[in-house]
Amino acid sequence: MKLKNKVAIVTGASSGLGLAIAEKFLKEGAKVVFSDINKEKGEEIVLNKENAVFIKCDVSDSKEVSHLISETVRSFGGLDVIVNNAGTATMANIEDMTDLEWQKVIDINLTGVFYGVRDAAKYMKNNNVKGSIINMSSILSINGFKQSVSYCAAKGGVNQITRTAALELAPFKIRVNAIAPGFIQTGMTQGILADKEYREFLEASTPLGYIGEPEDIANAALYLASEDSKYVTGSILYVDGGWTAR
What is the structure's pLDDT at 201? 86
pTM of the model: 0.96
The answer to whether position 204 is within a domain reads: no
At a CB cut-off of 8 Å and minimum separation 6, what does 72 contact?
A: 7, 9, 33, 55, 79
151 is catalytic: yes
Beta strand pairing call for 81-84 and 52-56: unpaired
Give me the residues paired with residue 82 across strands. 9, 133
What is the structure's pLDDT at 173? 98
The answer to whether position 52 is within a domain reads: yes
CATH number for the domain spanning 98: value is: 3.40.50.720
The answer to whether position 246 is within a domain reads: no
The answer to whether position 163 is within a domain reads: yes
Tens of pLDDT, residue by residue over 37-73, are 999 999 999 999 999 999 999 999 999 999 999 999 9
Biggest distance spanned by C-alpha atoms of the chain = 52
Catalytic residue among 151, 198, 210, 238: 151
Q: Which domain holds residue 81?
A: 7-184+214-239
> How many whole angstroms from its chain centre is CA 8?
12
What is the structure's pLDDT at 63? 98
Q: What are phi and psi of 178, to 5 degrees?
A: -135, 150
Radius of gyration of the chain from its Cα atoms, rounded to whole angstroms: 17
The answer to whether position 189 is within a domain reads: no
Give CA–CA dist 50/40, Å, rounded: 18
The tally of domains found in the chain comes to 1
The answer to whether position 1 is within a domain reads: no
Tens of pLDDT, residue by residue over 187-216, are 777 777 787 888 998 899 999 999 999 999
The answer to whether position 201 is within a domain reads: no
C-alpha closest to that of 236 among 155, 145, 148, 129: 155
Helix and strand counts by DSSP (H, E) for the chain:
9, 7
The answer to whether position 167 is within a domain reads: yes
Residue ranges in the chain whose pLDDT is less than 50: none
